[in-house]
A and B are shown apart, each in its own frame.
Chain A
Amino acid sequence: MRITELPTDVQFLFSHLQSVALETMRIIELPADVQPLAGAMPAYCASLAVAALRDVCQQARAQKARLVALWGSDETPRGAGYALHLALALPSGLLWLTVALPREHPRYPSIADIYPCASRMQRAAYDLTGIHAHDSPDHRKWLRHRAWPGGVFPLRKEFDIAGGFPKSEDRYPFVRVEGEGVHEIPVGPVHAGTIEPGHFRFSIVGEKILRLEERLGYKHKGIEKRFEQLTLLDAARLAGRISGDSTVAYAWAYAMAVEGAAGVEPPPRALVLRGILLELERIANHLGDLGYLGNDVALAFGFFQFWRLKEDLLRLHAALFGHRYLMDLIVPGGVARDLTPEQAARLNGFIERLRSEVETLRSIYDDHAGMQDRFIMTGQILPALAEKLDLTGFAGRASGIRHDLRVDHPVPPWRQAGVRMASHTRGDVAARVSVRFDELYESMRLVQALVAMLSAGDIRVPIGDCPAGRRGVGWVEGWRGEVLIALDTAEGNRIHRLHPHDPSWQNWPLLERAVLGNIVPDFPLINKSFNLSYSGQDL
């Protein structure tokens, strides 16, 4: 494909690189093979020489391209070495860059100074595949705890899954804050509530938080390795279990990636049903979190009311779709269950009732002075910082980052439904609550609009054989933010490498910044206003 056939922003990225190369007379191997990827979302893939990596990233950053994900892969069965992959979000779509690295000493220059959110992804990529980011400010391990020793890389193809390792010592140096009256509070990984495990190290003076350092990875369960043992169809169930509260988003992203790789287009009715499922998931999660936010300021009334509504919704899910959390409904090629007209009417009626109840609860939340006092100016992320650190999802929209995949790339069914983006600029807990309420209303509207759009037709088409070496991208705006599945197929309808990316990767470091200057008792509130996934990022 000629470079002029590409969208201007993709073109610009590479033509600019060409001029940089000419100016500096540096010999840079230019990516000649920018290829559009088949699939629902606009996406391109290109390979890149390691020497050009930083230049391209700098250009991309200058163009306000966001770094969506960074991961490594082992290409040795294909006769190559290792590879570094980057997914960049450009205005015209997703750009999947692949940087080939040698088999001996696979290294690349760190891009954490350009994209700060890349730091933890680089550390994770080293823990799993052994590709090393040099000149990085942080070389501590990230996902590796005691399950495997240093120097062993589970995502390499030669890694023996059956073998075990003796428990090694787990040493992880936290950054220490020195000074008079400064002390540390270690919290977790086991918490008092039923939440996922994660360790938080607070450095405090009095009640004021000077620094928070997260340590995650306690939920690492080798999901990416497990994908490589499964066929494309079987892996759909696993994809839906990467992060339980985003099962629809992950299942859709996975289905989208497989459909792209196999060149299959799901029927329109299936796409509308997927849209309904995704919005129902968004409603359920926002209802639950709004209740939790009430609980965190000890307004138990709000907690019980929102959870009653959530429970009603989950029971409706079970009645209509056979699963309270909507698991295994989106499958490659379409959806597994249809919605009859009677069921659709029931869903419509429920949404009507839900809307009036949420309106009442919102007015109670908005008018409650004590609650607003806790919410306003707590855990603030200003738009400038949010942009610098690539805050994503609804939290990003609460800090003035106006991105929503349903709006940025309105592929069916969003094109017909017309999503209205919610946003705010104050970036505090109150702003995130406000955006959640707005999205709740919008999702309720969308469910009804999508139900009205349901036209007769198939809900599933078969996925034929998929040749090896095909790539597919699934990119879906889940309730928390953009979920990415990058798929590379292997022989026999299997997976060579699959990287699922959770928006929590981007947002966890922002939580460390949001709590600065706040007091310790406000941390649970700030944390819950983001409600990030541990499982999705620990993989």
Chain B
Amino acid sequence: MSQQAAIAFQILQSVFVVIAAPLLTGWVNQCRAWLQNRSAPSILLPYYTLAKLFHKDAVIAHNASRLFHLTPYILFGCMWLAAGIVPVLATGLPFTPAADIIALVGVFALARVFSALAAMDTGTSFGGLGARREMLIGFLAEPAMLMTLFTAAFISGSTQLTTIVDTLAHREFAIHPGLAFAAAAFLMVLLAENARIPIDNPATHLELTMVHEAMILEYSARHLALIEWAMAIKLFAYMTIGIALFLPWGIAGAGDWPALPLAIAALLVKLAAGGAGLALIETLFAKLRLFLAPEFLSSAFLLAVLGMLTHFLTRA
């Protein structure tokens, strides 16, 4: 694969992720509306919302520091980076060496730290409340996430996401029972990390119960747009990580241009199915009492550990 082609591939993938992410959010919202017997909003609604927000004037608290101004850009950057290094369409891209699973979790943690700091920056009670809850969920979700990824890493013998995907998708077919546990754990972490039911309510207006929304209450206009877009990319990134680890078939190999249309089609089908599944979960479950969130995430951690143990047992 020539260097130019690889870079073109990389750029294509990064742009694709940023453009397509709100579409996934719109699709999830649409599925949820259908499942609730409602007529659904347009799948393009998130784009309209972003356009509307970018055209508004930002209202910023007088006592907000530079951190508050910078955080939306940092969040957007972190999520874009995360989504860019995940092998979405093809493996073996120039950023591949950066696509280390520990680094990936670190990028998400960086975004979390900044959003919590920015939430506390203006000194409102809701910001502090949201930041506190976010950290509670975060410090339980991160280990579970790491354990999940480690299970996959043990199978392929590398913490490089592309190597993992290559191993699972393109080498000889093998059944890894450990991955089933890891997949369940990953799903639970995905729900918690993306402010989804049963941990958080993405459509909430209830100021006292929300987690993620409470942190961004003070943001408006372009800042809010960036954060919402970043959240859409985050959901997209998590979904693609899940797909790369647990359903990697169809992904294009390095420089395999002819495989690209198939890769895109396969990705779209998998994302559509994943989004519909997410909407189904959000329709069936009620939100957990906040103090059950640690139990929920401990279960995720336990499942991930079980996955790893199963891997060692079945290999031996």
Contacts and interface: CB of A to CB of B under 8 A. Distances in A.
A298 interface: yes
A296 B209 contact: yes
Contacts of A524: 206, 208-209
Contacts of A520: 129, 208-209
A187 B208 contact: yes
Interface in B267-293: 282-283, 285-292
A175 B126 CA distance: 21
Interface string B233-261: 00000000000000000000000000000
Contacts of A374: 286-287, 289
Contacts of A185: 125-126, 129, 208
Interface string B198-213: 1001011111110000
Interface in A142-196: 183-187, 191-193
B37 interface: yes
B207 A192 contact: yes
B222 interface: no
B178 to A, nearest CB: 29
Nearest to A527: B208
A194 B37 CA distance: 23
A521 B209 contact: yes
A193 B35 contact: no
A300 B289 contact: no
A370 B289 CA distance: 9
B37 A521 contact: no
B9 to A, nearest CB: 40
Q: How large is the interface on B (under 10, 10 to 19, 20 to 34, 35 or more residues)?
A: 20 to 34
A309 to B, nearest CB: 12
A221 B203 CA distance: 34
A350 interface: no
B42 interface: no
Given A193-B205, A521-B209, A301 B36 contact: yes
Nearest to A195: B205
Contact of A373 (B36, B126, B206, B289): B289
A207 interface: yes
A370 B292 CA distance: 11
Interface in B16-72: 32, 35-38
Nearest to B285: A370
A305 interface: yes
B197 interface: yes
Contacts of B207: 187, 191-192
A185 B207 CA distance: 11
A304 B292 CA distance: 26
Contact of B206 (A184, A296, A519): A296
Contact of A192 (B197, B206, B282, B288): B206
Contacts of B197: 298
A207 B291 contact: yes
Interface string A513-528: 0000001111110000
Interface string A369-401: 011011000000000000000000000000000
A300 B36 contact: yes
A184 B125 CA distance: 8
A299 interface: yes
A252 B292 CA distance: 47
B286 A368 contact: yes
Contacts of B206: 192-193, 296, 524
Counting chain A CB atoms within 10 Å of each CB, the highest count among B37, B129, B203 belongs to B129
A297 interface: yes
B286 A297 contact: yes
B290 A207 contact: yes
Nearest to B210: A521
B130 to A, nearest CB: 11
Contact of B37 (A187, A304, A370, A373): A304
Interface string A261-304: 00000000000000000000000000000000000111111001
Contacts of B203: 300
A523 B126 CA distance: 14
B38 A304 contact: yes
Interface string B74-110: 0000000000000000000000000000000000000
Nearest to A519: B290
A305 B37 contact: yes
Nearest to B200: A298
Given A184-B125, A192-B207, A370-B198, A297 B38 contact: no
A143 B289 CA distance: 35
A297 B203 CA distance: 12
A191 B292 CA distance: 26
Given A193-B206, A520-B208, A299 B289 contact: no
B293 to A, nearest CB: 10
A166 to B, nearest CB: 27
B214 to A, nearest CB: 10
Given A298-B198, A301-B35, A370-B198, A523 B208 contact: yes
A191 B289 CA distance: 22
A186 B125 contact: yes
Contacts of B126: 185
Residue of A184, A207, A371 ringed by the most chain B CB atoms within 10 A: A207
B198 to A, nearest CB: 7
Contacts of A370: 198, 285-288
Nearest to A302: B286
A521 B204 contact: no
B308 to A, nearest CB: 29
Nearest to A186: B125
A193 B205 CA distance: 6
A301 B281 CA distance: 12
Interface string A206-228: 01000000000000000000000
Contacts of B285: 298-299, 370
A374 B286 CA distance: 9
A183 B129 CA distance: 11
Nearest to A194: B205
A192 B217 CA distance: 10
Given A185-B125, A298-B282, 6 more contacts: A192-B207, A193-B205, A301-B35, A304-B37, A374-B289, A521-B208
Interface of A: 183-187, 191-193, 207, 296-301, 304-305, 308, 368, 370-371, 373-374, 519-524
Question: Nearest 6 A-B pairs (CB), nearest first?
Answer: A298-B287, A370-B286, A521-B209, A297-B286, A298-B201, A185-B125
26 contacts: A184-B125, A185-B126, A186-B125, A192-B205, A192-B206, A192-B207, A193-B206, A207-B290, A296-B206, A298-B198, A298-B287, A299-B285, A299-B287, A300-B32, A300-B36, A300-B203, A301-B35, A304-B38, A305-B37, A370-B288, A371-B286, A519-B291, A520-B129, A521-B290, A524-B206, A524-B209
